[in-house]
Copies of this chain bind each other. A is one copy, B any other.
């Protein structure tokens, strides 16, 4: 992860604030004037950077899905030729937790405002999401071979629900410390998968 040192562009500022506002009050609940005000310009000035309000949401959601998928692919590749399923799953979980903890507004948008997109954008996002899920499913099934595919997919979605619950955990800083929270979530995710893979043939 190459850490950015240069200042964020105006486009990036806008996207960040829009994400926060959309997550807080919903896509329809936020006006363009508010988004503009959040970055110090006013309403219609946004149209110098984006084609419209929809375009901001689209770019956010496509970006999220793409980042998640790209990161997961990278982690899978880094695992080497004959990866240990446990290590790969740990790596996937870690990546998802990082994302959920560092970009809470985005993780909130990700499964909440998808239906507000134009058809083509929505299809793209869904495709990226599906690839991401399938990637997890394969790793989970490698670790728990007894799991049928639909069951594994349900389990993956459920663990996403668990990991994505962080926005509900408290106002900004009330968590017991980032590392502690990450550790707890990680252990719980592993525990949930283990329970899914253990008893039943699915």
Of B168, B180, B192, which contacts A192 at CB under 8 A? B192
Query: CA of A168 to CA of B158 in the docked complex: distance in angstroms?
Result: 9
Closest 7 CB pairs of A and B: A191-B195, A161-B165, A28-B28, A162-B162, A188-B192, A191-B191, A192-B192
The complex places the Cα of A184 from the Cα of B161 at a distance, in Å, of 14
**Do the beta carbons of A168 and B157 come within 8 Å of each other?**
yes
**Which residues on B sit within 8 Å (CB–CB) of A194?**
191, 195
* Pairwise interchain contact B151-A157, C-beta atoms closer than 8 A: no
- Interfacial residues, chain A to chain B (CB-CB below 8 A): 24-29, 111-113, 115-116, 150-151, 154-155, 157-165, 168-169, 175-176, 180-181, 183-185, 187-196, 198-200, 202
A188 touches B181 (CB 8 A): no
How distant is A109 from chain B, measured CB to nearest CB, in Å? 12
User: Which of B112, B151, B181, B188 is close to A195, meaning CB atoms less than 8 Å apart?
Assistant: B188
Partner among B29, B113, B160, B189 whose Cβ is within 8 Å of the Cβ of A116: B29
Asked if A195 contacts B190 (CB within 8 A), the reply is: yes
Task: Using A162-B162, A191-B195 as known contacts, say yes or no to A168 and B29 having CB atoms under 8 A apart.
Answer: no
Contacts of A168 in B (CB 8 A): 111, 157, 160-161
A38 smallest CB distance to B (angstroms): 17
B29 contacts A188, C-beta separation under 8 Å: no
The residue on B at minimum CB distance from A159 is B162
Given contacts A169-B154, A184-B155, whether A26 and B28 have CB atoms under 8 Å apart is yes
